[in-house]
């Protein structure tokens, strides 16, 4: 994997990780945030390394979903 990841790559890697646990995850947007899936459902199934990767890619908990901010 490249040393520097673009925002698009970080977003797509996170979505791919989420879909491993919730194949038809809900997606929505608001004020620059993209919300995907059910945070608790997915978080409880992910390994520590998967959770660390999500954090490194910029994914956070927001309400009941995973959230990714697009500065645009």
pLDDT in tens, the chain (72 residues): 567 899 999 999 999 999 999 999 999 999 999 999 999 999 999 999 999 999 999 999 999 999 999 987
Residue 71's pLDDT is what? 86
With beta carbons less than 8 A apart as the criterion, state whether 10 and 68 touch: yes
Residue 2's pLDDT is what? 61
Q: Supply the pTM of this predicted model.
A: 0.90
Residue 39's pLDDT is what? 97
Q: Which residue has the tokens 């989420």?
A: 18
């Amino acid at each position: 994997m490249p040393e520097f990841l673009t925002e698009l790559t970080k977003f797509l890697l996170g979505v791919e990780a989420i879909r491993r646990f919730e194949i038809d995850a809900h997606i929505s947007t608001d004020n620059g945030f993209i919300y995907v899936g059910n945070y608790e459902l997915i978080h409880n199934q992910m390994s520590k390394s998967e959770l660390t990767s999500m954090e490194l890619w910029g994914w956070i908990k927001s309400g009941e979903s995973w959230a990714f901010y697009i500065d645009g």
